[in-house]
Amino acid sequence: MKATIAIQRGAPGETAHVETFEVAFEPGQSVLDALRILRRETDPSLAFRFACINANACKECMMLIDGEVDYACKVKLKEGVTSLLPLPKKALVRDLVTEIAPPDERLFAPVRKSAR
């Protein structure tokens, strides 16, 4: 089966554009599976967050999938077009990556006072 994945790409300051890719898939495979296949087979520069792949435990792979906020590792691929956008309410980093960490777990966060 074939899925068509339309991905919004670009970094802040660039004009966002949509790129469309075709991926062969087997029923049950996830949107994250497709993104990882695309990197291996077509465009290794495609940016998206993920860590745990199977467990749905890290909660890093959230994005806008066909207009809904969801986990790329949980949503199954389908025939026809799937549209992927970065999370709308988070600062864009690049492609599908947004700044999702709580502010005090980021590098550019206010330094907390030492206990001493």
Partner 1 sequence: MHLETDVLIIGAGGAGMYAAIEAARAGASVILADRSLIGRGGATVMAQMTVAVALGEQTPDHWEHHLADTLAAGRGLCDENLAAMLCEEGPARIREMDAWKVGWAREDGHIKQAHAPGHDRPRCVYVDFLATGPAVSRTLRAQLNHFDGVRRVGDLLIVDIVVRDCVAVGAVALHTPTGEIVTIAAKSTIIGTGGLTRLYRRNSASSNMSGDGYALALRAGAELVDMEFVQFFPIGHLAPRLVGMDPIMWDPFRYKLGGKLLNGDHQPFEEEYAARDSRSDGAYVLTRDLATYAITKEVEAGRGSPAGGAWLSFRHIPEADIRRAFGPVVDRLAENGIDLARQDVEVAPIAHYHMGGVRVDTSFATSVPGLFACGEAVGGANGANRLSGNAITEALVFGARAGQTAARHASGVAQGWTEAAAKTSVDMLKSASARPGPNLAEAVARLQAVMADKVGAFRTAEKLDAALADLDALAREIGDTPMISAKAFDPVLVDWLDLRQMLLVARSVAIAAKARTESRGAHQREDYPGLDKAWTHNQVVTLAGGDIALRAASPAKRG
Residue reference for tokens 């991926």: 23
By CB under 8 A, is residue 68 in contact with partner 1?
no
Give me the least distance between CB of 109 and partner 1, in Å please: 8
By CB under 6 A, is residue 100 in contact with ligand FES?
no
Residue 113 half-sphere exposure, CB side, CA atoms within 13 Å? 2
What are the start-end ranges of the H helices in the chain?
31-41
> What residue type is assigned to position 8 of the chain?
Q
By CB under 6 A, is residue 64 in contact with ligand FES?
no
By CB under 8 A, is residue 73 in contact with partner 1?
yes
How far is it, in rounded angstroms, from Cα 34 to Cα 43? 12
Interface with partner 1 by CB under 8 A: which residues? 11, 26-30, 33, 36, 39-41, 44-47, 50-60, 73-74, 93-95, 97, 99-101, 104-107, 111-116
